[in-house]
């Protein structure tokens, strides 16, 4: 994944999630409602956005790595 210099808003992450949710495992999808009901740092929002970005086009290995990172963010708090 590439790092970009843009800061992504809560709304950006929500829209990206909505576009990728059908490709995510149920285990992750079930945690996003709680995720979006909380406040997150800019760094966390940016990281989640990039984990979701082009998720559907990622290899199986890349998806597994992203899933682990997303779980860390989703289970925070």
Question: Is residue 42 within 8 Å of 13, Cβ to Cβ?
Answer: no
Tens of pLDDT, residues 8-19: 999 999 999 999
Tens of pLDDT, residues 13-45: 999 999 999 999 999 999 999 999 999 999 999
pLDDT of residue 76: 85
Return the exposure string of 1-25: e unless at least 16 CB atoms fall within 10 Å of the residue's CB, then b: eeeeeeebeeebbbebbeebeeebe
Question: Is residue 77 within 8 Å of 37, Cβ to Cβ?
Answer: no
Instruction: Please state, for a pLDDT cut of 70, what percent of the chain lies above it.
Output: 94
pTM of structure: 0.91
Q: How confident is the model at residue 71 (pLDDT cuts 50, 70, 90)?
A: very high
């Amino acid at each position: 994944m590439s790092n970009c210099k843009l800061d992504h808003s809560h709304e950006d992450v929500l829209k990206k999630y909505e576009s990728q949710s059908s490709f995510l495992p149920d285990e992750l999808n079930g945690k996003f409602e709680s995720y979006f009901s909380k406040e997150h740092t800019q760094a966390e929002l940016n990281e989640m956005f990039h984990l979701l970005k082009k998720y559907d086009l990622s290899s199986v290995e890349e998806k597994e790595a992203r899933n682990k990172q997303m779980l860390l963010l989703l289970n925070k708090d």
